Amino acid sequence: MTVNFSSGSSRLLVRFFFVLLVALVCARSAAAEPIRVLVWDEQQARQKPVYPDWLGGQIASHLRTNSKLEVTRAKLDDPEQGISTAAIESNDVLVWWGHVRQGEISEAKGKEIVARVRAGKLGLVILHSAHWSVPFMEAMQSRAADDALARLPEADRKRATVRFLGERKRKTPKRADRVFIDATYTRQADGSIEIALERPNCVFPSCCDPVEPAQVRTMLPKHPLAAGIPENFVIPRTEMYDEPFGVPAPDLVVFEESWEGGEHFRSGCVWNVGKGHVFYFRPGHETYPVFYEKYPLKIVENATVWLGETLAASAD
């Protein structure tokens, strides 16, 4: 049997399928799960004069204005330091601010956090002084191992193991000190390869003074991290950090900062760590109102949304 459709009925059929497609898209969007964000804050006492509800509270308050985000807070003095296994596994993005009590987080907890990042189940946002936090140092160590393995021919990688040299330290280098992460490759008698690898120190030779405006330049304006951010903007009062930054080379440098004295810093960087991502954003000292400024807050918001949506897309 042959069925003939008139042009009118064809248009109706096309319209029906278009309406159905729109309805399906809207239903999928409405059913999308919120991005679960945990804002972790050491809550250093020096924050209080500038941030009455703590620095983490100021960031969390801003993030809650975005309907895509479901935000909770945690602090170092919470039970299990606010980062129990349940807390880590029940969130999509972890935003971390720490400074003077970095060493109170165990290496085992850092490994647990980074394992979830590597599995593509957690995005990590590291702020300012948390360059020396256990999660960030562990993430950079993990990435340094990936980089060292990637230098080997593919056939050798499966037979290679990485051995880190010495203990993790937090020591500011001198300006003349080398900053690259050294790796020594030794082939054993059985054909396996041992890689002796330096641990990234995750610091820089100069910081803090003078306290003056930072000129921030957006390097990748089309990246989601830069949505709503101008090509150039100023943070009126902030600490200065000066390169070189002792970390593995980032995959993306989205923002850079400079100061009148000629200092500069890669202030917004992304690293791929396993299947996941780590974003480091440099501004944010606890005694300056950096996180009352429009654009730093927007960048942290962009980071949580981008990391969360990236996780959701990879899970589909």
DSSP per-residue string spanning 222-256: TSGGGTT--SEEEEEEEEEEESPP-SPPPSEEEEE
Buried b or exposed e, range 266-292, using 16+ CB within 10 angstroms: bbbbbbebbebbbbbbbbbbbebebbe
Query: How far is C-alpha 126 from the geometric centre of its chain's CA atoms?
Result: 5
Buried b or exposed e, range 26-65, using 16+ CB within 10 angstroms: eeeeeeeeebbbbbbbbbbeebeebbeebbbbbbbebbee
Pairing label, strands 193-197, 160-164: parallel
| Secondary structure element (H or E) that encloses residue 266, with its range | strand 264-273
Domain ranges of the chain: 30-315
Beta-bridge mates of residue 287: none
Beta-bridge mates of residue 242: 206
Angle 263-304-212 from CA coordinates, rounded to 5°: 25
pTM: 0.88
Residue 231, pLDDT score: 97
| CA–CA distance, 56 with 260 (Å, rounded to integer) | 30
Residue 14, pLDDT score: 44
Residue 42, token pair as written in the block: 């050491």
- Contacts within 8 Å (CB) and 24+ apart, 76-81: 76/40, 76/41, 76/42, 76/43, 76/101, 76/104, 76/105, 77/43, 81/105, 81/109
pLDDT digits (tens), the chain, 316 positions: 444 545 555 555 445 444 455 444 443 444 579 999 999 999 999 999 999 999 999 999 999 999 999 999 999 999 999 999 999 999 999 999 999 999 999 999 999 999 999 999 999 999 999 999 999 999 999 999 999 999 999 999 999 999 999 888 888 888 877 777 889 999 999 999 999 999 999 999 988 876 789 999 999 999 999 999 999 999 999 999 999 999 999 999 999 999 999 999 999 999 999 999 999 999 988 999 999 999 999 999 999 999 999 998 887 6
DSSP state of 162: E
The closest of 58, 112, 51, 52 to 81, measured between CA atoms, is 112
Residue 315, pLDDT score: 79
Instruction: Name the CATH code of domain 30-315 (choices 3.40.50.300, 3.20.20.410, 3.40.50.1240, 3.40.50.880).
Output: 3.40.50.880
Q: Could you tell me which residues come within 8 angstroms of residue 203 by beta carbon, excluding any fewer than 6 positions away?
A: 131, 132, 170, 171, 172, 173, 245, 246
Residue 172, pLDDT score: 86
| CA–CA distance, 171 with 205 (Å, rounded to integer) | 10
